[in-house]
Copies of this chain bind each other. A is one copy, B any other.
Amino acid sequence: MTEFTSEEISSLEKRYKANLINSVTGYKSANLIGSISENSISNLAVFNSILHIGSSPALIGFVLRPLTVERHTYANIKSSQFYTVNQIHSGIIEQAHQTSARYATEVSEFGKTGLNEEYVKHISAPFVKESKVQIACKYVNEYEIKENGCLLMIGQIEMLRVQEKLIQADGWVDHMAANTASILGLDGYAEGKLINRFAYARPDEPIKVL
């Protein structure tokens, strides 16, 4: 094993450290957050920190980097209260990654990447038409992580839109059939292959495959 102490980590070259620390935790979710400004300029940004918070009520979270520079996604969520979380699949990973470029406020990443906006009733934020799993959220709260100024944003799921064939009989979404991507570190995009689903685990009973 190669070992790094906290002192050794601190003194690593900046880019090496960012790659190492961003990749050690394993596979991360790959989603595009869609939002719209008060001036009706749409915005799209790749996020790898979408997090399940709870099912009843249905809440999800994501981590926003510190507000030391202009964060369009944050400003749009605060002004409109709505945002969408759109699945990245293997067919759109280049467009998804391109949304991380620093475009000016008045530029829409939809237009620049060729991904298409889709609007539905009662949800002001744009969905990504190409995504096979789409979530609309309403802003609920934010928590500042004081240790580094990041924000944990909490949203309630207002609407779910999932390709019909992807939903299995027990509600589980088949991300293999959707070619859903995951993110590794800052810049890697992967596809997945299911090994197994397991039944609810109980003490001293052997694991059962579903």
Contacts and interface: CB of A to CB of B under 8 A. Distances in A.
A19 B163 contact: no
A36 interface: no
B58 A6 contact: yes
Residue of A23, A140, A146, A162 with most partner-chain B CB within 10 A: A23
Contact of A25 (B50, B90, B141, B185): B50
Given A1-B164, A189-B196, A6 B159 contact: yes
Contact of A148 (B9, B57, B90, B157): B57
Contacts of A74: none
A52 B28 contact: yes
Interface residues of A, number: 114
B152 A54 contact: no
A54 B148 contact: yes
Contact of A10 (B48, B57, B150, B203): B57
A53 interface: yes
Contacts of A30: 26-27
B185 A190 contact: no
A98 B196 contact: no
A148 B205 CA distance: 31
Contacts of A24: 133, 135, 160, 162, 173
Interface in A77-133: 85, 87-88, 90, 93-94, 97-104, 107, 112, 133
Interface of A: 1-6, 9-10, 12, 14-31, 48-61, 63, 85, 87-88, 90, 93-94, 97-104, 107, 112, 133-135, 140-141, 143, 145-148, 150, 152, 154, 156-164, 167-168, 170-173, 175-176, 180-182, 184-185, 187-205, 207, 210
8 contacts: A16-B171, A24-B173, A25-B51, A27-B29, A61-B145, A104-B203, A173-B185, A191-B195
